[in-house]
Chains A and B, each alone.
Chain A
């Protein structure tokens, strides 16, 4: 076909044999944040119609992927997202080995194409993940792309690195740890302990180490929830410490609170949008951020927003040194974000980068004025939030014990 004639086609066999090495010759990096990538998908017209009709289901369809000079045949694609699921501007999950075992793109088994449906600025998640990473947290890489399906421009998308075995290899040095994706089922605040493993598994879906017996894979998760909810305040910290990396958790929360995140671990409807990670030889869990479309809500929001709901956070903040750690992490967020205008610069650079692609986006559910206003909101947030947080932290530190929030 003419439209593919100029592409260097990597055969499935070569990809299997070479794995990540198959893409070594490419010059561009998939997560290069300085360019808007061009991703082209070709899908049979019937499958595309079916995909749009069944966008609420996780049904896979085969597609050919073109990115730069790379072509992957028969990649599995499906609709993705929760609130952002739409048949108009499809959010897509790409699984390269779904139909061809071992097929990879630059060593990645999968990618998400976030349709930025709920974020008129198109920058919230990109900037939020950048801050998580800058704060030393394990966070998915992101970049921007123009997506074309069967030659038709679909608009600006965020290329999101999935949290999977490849992610662990990159961020933790190996994929032998345990990874659990949290699924929102109901407003849940890490309360209660369900001894029914099915119920635990429904919330925390295992993403790695699937061959390990279920009971042993989930036992530390159950123990963690049990420790979080244990009644003895005196020994609470000692009980939780073996199961939760408390400094990491508090740093994660500090970033969320700095970003005024409304759908994370202190979400408006219970905990949401995170993964649990446990290194192979440990029982201690870490929290990984996911889906930050609801960050940057209000530059003047409390640094203890809904902190009383999440049991783990509420009880951690009742321990003096953990509370001090949290406040220090918040202050560090403010410093990192404001130093040399870093966060504002990230937002400005992102906005400039996607300006043309965004204005030409034919399927976005907001107009150019709304996009500009949203970008301005983020810019204002980046300018004012650090000072507000510093002031709030100082106020809490100065307040007498017992009246600190």
Chain B
């Protein structure tokens, strides 16, 4: 394991022992109105073989899921920036942006960051309730891109908006989140509902060899309710990709439609967020992804250039336990039940996450 990983692990373990409080403060320096924070995170993942069914897509074993370092800064209340990179990655840059943030109702962010679509995807991997994101988020979210985005909160935080334009695929994105009962936490007021939409250009081959060309339209709906130690979250997403000129004779084909959803719940067994005691959280999620239309009936063509892409659906159940050791160390254990080659299987996963 590279030395930098050990250094982060040891430093963070030490910090955890001293700190122990949730809502950790990162190591920082202040130079007048400028405040700089050092960011570092390591996620160590153990992925074990599912019950006698070998996973084709992932090799069982131990690996380092993420090794990220970065720096974040603020200039008074006017501007902020963040630079975060993944060590030893082919495409290392994660969030690299500057932000004008003088007003709560209008902030402008420019650089390389996540397109505002899907709650699951835009939630930092350090804060996820499960080791892996839902299939829907992994497949249908828009990823990171270079762009500019305006965002802010209005009406006493009851309405939050994000609207941006991104260069990579000429994507326009908008997300509106409403807290109809206000932002403060109480049983009635902990409800957030959001809708999101993106429109972009594409010309690419998807994983299952289907060529898509033209525009991609995504639409999503999110719901969150966190009245107390129990939190419920759900999302539905739909992506429709045009297939212009993708027929065998160059004719236009029906768009490829992919839909995904999940419903998740967590229960903080030791709910004291601010306490110094370890916190245990139980989590469960059901998620699904569907590609194409209709079923796989006899005679259905699975050709990537068929007039209509035959439907394929995939679902999974994830059960998990999250154990927070202070604010910097989190242990996660998940069991994922899905189907592979027609057989149901359980795949155990574990993650040790250390944040500096």
Contact = CB atoms under 8 A, between A and B. Distances in A.
A74 interface: yes
Contacts of A76: 303
Given A44-B305, A74-B306, A63 B248 contact: yes
B298 A42 contact: no
Contacts of A64: 248-249
A387 to B, nearest CB: 53
A101 interface: yes
A45 B250 contact: yes
B182 interface: no
A12 B250 contact: no
B211 interface: yes
A62 interface: yes
A103 B298 CA distance: 10
Given A42-B249, A63-B248, A102 B303 contact: no
B302 A99 contact: yes
Interface secondary structure of A, over-half rule = mixed
Which of A13, A45, A100 is the most central at the interface, judged by chain B CB atoms within 10 Å of its CB? A100
A44 B299 contact: no
A371 B305 CA distance: 39
A16 interface: yes
Interface string B191-227: 0000000000000000000010000000000000000
A46 B211 contact: yes
Nearest to A4: B249
B301 interface: yes
A15 interface: yes
Contacts of B248: 42-44, 47, 62-64, 74
Which of B246, B250, B299, B304 is the most central at the interface, judged by chain A CB atoms within 10 Å of its CB? B299
B271 interface: no
Interface string A76-102: 100000000000000000000001111
Given A44-B250, A45-B250, A62 B299 contact: no
Interface residues of A, number: 25
A1 interface: yes
A73 interface: yes
Interface string B289-328: 0000000001111111110000000000000000000000
A101 B298 contact: yes
B265 interface: no
A13 B298 contact: yes
A16 B299 CA distance: 6
Interface residues of B, number: 16
Given A16-B298, A16-B299, A73-B301, A1 B251 contact: yes
Contacts of A47: 248, 305
Contacts of B302: 99-101
B247 to A, nearest CB: 7
A12 B303 CA distance: 12
A73 B211 CA distance: 17
A48 to B, nearest CB: 10
Contact of A12 (B211, B247, B300): B300
Interface string A1-14: 10010000001110
Contacts of A45: 250
Contacts of A62: 248, 303-306
A128 B306 CA distance: 39
A355 B195 CA distance: 68
B300 A100 contact: yes
A43 B248 CA distance: 5
Contacts of B305: 44, 47, 62, 74
Given A1-B251, A46-B211, A62-B306, A12 B246 contact: no
12 contacts: A11-B299, A13-B298, A44-B247, A47-B305, A64-B249, A99-B303, A99-B306, A100-B303, A101-B298, A101-B300, A101-B302, A102-B298
Interface of A: 1, 4, 11-13, 15-17, 42-47, 62-64, 73-74, 76, 99-103
Interface of B: 211, 246-251, 298-306
Given A64-B248, A64-B249, A103-B299, 19 more contacts: A13-B298, A13-B299, A16-B299, A44-B247, A44-B248, A47-B248, A62-B248, A62-B305, A73-B306, A74-B305, A76-B303, A99-B302, A100-B299, A100-B302, A100-B303, A101-B298, A101-B300, A102-B298, A102-B299
